[in-house]
Amino acid sequence: MDNNKRPETMERINSKALAEAFINEQIKEIKEQVGDKKVLLALSGGVDSSVVAALLIKAIGKQLVCVHVNHGLMRKGESEAVIEIFQNQLDANLIYVDATDRFLNLLADVNDPERKRKIIGGEFIKVFDEEAAKLTDIKFLAQGTIYPDILESDGVKAHHNVGGLPEDMEMELVEPIKLLYKDEVRVVGSALGLPDEMVYRQPFPGPGLGVRCLGAITRDRLEALREADAILREEFDKNGLAGKVWQYFIAVPDVKSVGVKNDKRYEGWPAIIRAVNTTDAMSATIEEIPYELLHHITDRITHEVPGINRVLYDLTPKPIGTIEWE
């Protein structure tokens, strides 16, 4: 039997009872797999890694070592929020690594999206190996791989949880939610007692803003992207769209056009808004955002974010376009 293929008889997890049955089953399997050894987990603070963390804490407690790597490609305030929630509120065994310069230096002048993903994924493993070397009995690497990651890694993209792993990696993988779709992961998260703001937090790719700062990443364009994205999220929160739209973000391509500011012509980048709804991440529809709000967001971004002089709205569903641009 293919352990990476969801059984046709597997019931869709859409209730607390089914989620609890899944949790109990996974706790048993995790204990059998891990024994008394320690597990290293990449804790981004997203839904998938948070649910995996909660499952592992429930199964093996302090044997879990959570590592949050700030690769410089996080959203504004993201790393600070991870530390606050997991270390201060949930008392997780958390190691924080600021590897911003390390990642951005490796990514300098890299244009190809697949190469960017593999550099980021590969460097993550190196960081984890370095952290593991400082600890004892680290034999396992836990990941928040979910089923669409596995499906899409077959010819569509090299997912950070699938395509970026080196063949000689010494740690054995622990992937307790790899056969679940995103909506099922949320149900399981709620059953585990995670707060709603964490369970319903929108997904964020492992390569982070690295796949939204399109083309070769530069620090100035990355910072513009981070600030524009923060404005979008703030306005969606204010206007009741945060809970209505499954995923929304900004992408900034490496393209400049002429604009006017302070009565002078200048060149700036466009900020592209992406807002989609989906249940399984395999297909997605476009959310219709009121024009009045789009105008307001455009005004804020073009006036508050240095380097951006246009705002566009992506109207392409999936298929034909993927959710991420890269």
- DSSP per-residue string spanning 54-69: HHHHHHHGGGEEEEEE
Other CB atoms within 10 A of residue 193 CB: 9
pLDDT of residue 132: 77
Regarding beta strands 94-98 and 64-70, do their DSSP bridges make them parallel or antiparallel, or are they unpaired?
Answer: parallel
Q: Three-class SS of residue 270?
A: strand
CA distances from 314 to 72, 123, 189 (A): 25, 31, 31
User: Please, are residues 187 and 16 in contact by the beta-carbon 8 Å criterion?
Assistant: yes
pTM, 2 dp = 0.76
The residue type at 148: P
- Low-confidence residues in the chain, pLDDT < 50: 155-166
Pairwise CA distance, residues 110 & 213, whole Å: 11
Distance (Å, rounded) from C-alpha 253 to C-alpha 273? 12
The rounded distance, in Å, linking the Cα atoms of 69 and 45 is 11
Query: Assign residue 262 a region: left if phi > 0, alpha if psi is -120 to 50, beta otherwise?
Result: left
E strand residue ranges, the chain:
38-42, 64-70, 94-98, 138-142, 172-174, 247-251, 257-261, 264-277, 285-286, 308-313
At the topology level of CATH, where does 16-199 sit? Answer: Rossmann fold (3.40.50)
The confidence score (pLDDT) of residue 19 equals 97
CATH architecture type of domain 212-313: 2-Layer Sandwich (3.30)
CB 64 within 8 A of CB 38: yes
Torsion of CA 189, 99, 237, 148, to 10 degrees: -50
Model confidence pLDDT, tens digit, residues 65-80: 998 989 999 999 888 8
Specify the 3-state DSSP secondary structure of 214. coil
Q: Name the 3-class secondary structure at 285.
A: strand
Please report the DSSP string for 6-47 in residue order: --TTPPP--SHHHHHHHHHHHHHHHHHHHTT-EEEEE--SSH
What are the extents of the domains in the chain?
16-199, 212-313
